[in-house]
């Protein structure tokens, strides 16, 4: 199953370049994923679970360095247009079970997030979207529905575990699934 993401980290501090590049370098060069960074974003290609883990590692490292830090990511799995994998079929979650976000150990990094889910190639794509919104609503990190997205708030690990669970759930019903994700830590507008 072809899976990957393009993600960008933004840091509101004078040493933003060191924070961003240091966070990416801290992940090293994992053998089970492909990573490429340019002036716009970092590409991660690999198993869906590992792609989200690598994004979490990079973002958490940037967050630990302090300040207001944002993440914008576009995740895709099963894209039939990618040369790496021409097959676009629904996939069962690893081990056949979607992990429970509530069982994930917290990292101590409070964030707010919003994500939009796009199951592609289905006549009843909104049925999949609604079922995954219900999955998110059953977690402690669900905050509210917004226009075009679902808002989450809580520890980074649990927020991304919720997004990952919805990603897995949708992928069990649709061969090509896309998620747009925005995450913020330390925003000055939180207190406004």
Q: Which domain CATH number covers 134?
A: 3.30.70.930
The whole-model pTM stands at: 0.91
Give the count of domains, the chain: 1
Q: Is the pLDDT of residue 89 over 70?
A: no
Question: Taking the CA atoms of the chain, what radius of gyration do you get in angstroms?
Answer: 16
pLDDT, residue 41, reads 96
In which domain, by residue range, is 144 found? Answer: 3-191
What pLDDT digit, counting tens, does each position of 62-74 carry? Answer: 999 878 999 999 9
Confidence at residue 86, expressed as pLDDT on a 0 to 100 scale: 47
Strand locations in 29-123 (E) = 34-37, 42-45, 69-77, 110-120
């Amino acid at each position: 199953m072809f899976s990957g993401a393009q993600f960008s980290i933004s840091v509101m501090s004078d040493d933003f370049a060191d924070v961003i590049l240091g966070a990416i370098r801290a992940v090293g060069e994992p053998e089970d994923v492909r990573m490429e960074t340019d002036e716009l974003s970092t590409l991660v290609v690999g198993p869906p679970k590992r792609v989200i883990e690598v994004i979490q590692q990079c973002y958490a490292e940037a967050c630990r360095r302090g300040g207001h830090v944002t993440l914008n990511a576009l995740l895709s799995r099963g894209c039939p247009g990618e040369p790496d994998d021409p097959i676009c079929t629904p996939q069962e979650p690893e081990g056949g079970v979607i992990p429970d976000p509530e069982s994930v150990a917290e990292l101590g990094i409070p964030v707010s997030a919003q994500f939009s889910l796009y199951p592609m190639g289905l006549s009843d794509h909104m049925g999949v979207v609604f079922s995954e919104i219900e999955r998110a609503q059953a977690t402690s990190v669900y905050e509210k529905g917004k226009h075009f997205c679902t808002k989450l708030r809580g520890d980074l690990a649990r927020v991304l575990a919720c997004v990952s669970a919805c990603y897995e759930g949708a992928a069990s019903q649709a061969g090509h699934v896309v998620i747009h994700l925005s995450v913020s830590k330390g925003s000055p507008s939180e207190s406004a």
